[in-house]
Amino acid sequence: MVSDLNFARSQKISIILVAEKKDIVIGFTWGHSIPFETFPFLEGKINPNSLYMDEIVVAPDFRRMKVGTDLCLCFMNVSDEYSVSEIVLRTDRRNSSSMGLFGSVGFNCLTSGNCVLTDPEYAERVYLSRPLKSCSR
């Protein structure tokens, strides 16, 4: 996870957000601009002016309390300041909690032709996207 965070920090755009309650970290997310040399399978399938939301974590005692929703919405708001066109992320399609969270804030599966776009190494990991121009916040 530390190497992923360092990678994010080295990109042209890097966003790191932390949710706290009474000075205790209860969640975090980060993301970055998308270098197509690292994500060649996304080239031509997403807008080049997209951000990748790499990680979102909520402490177990604070799940289902809208912390994840707030982090997603805050990430989108901050991304808007960079005139980003869409947010892209990857999650496991078997994880109903994350699929529900991302669906609730407007993310949809990326498709290539008639197929859902999956990770080249892990078929259960799907890519989702959410345009920012039509953000209803």
Q: What is the tens place of the pLDDT at every residue in 13-39?
A: 999 999 999 999 999 999 999 999 999
Q: DSSP letter string over 23-67?
A: TEEEEEEEEEE--TTT-GGGBTTB-TTEEEEEEEEE-GGGTTTTH
Supply the pTM of this predicted model. Answer: 0.88
The answer, yes or no, to whether residue 66 has pLDDT greater than 90, is yes
State how far Cα 92 lies from the chain centre. 12
Tokens of 106: 């407007």
Task: Please name each of the domains of the chain with its CATH number.
Answer: 2-131 (3.40.630.30)
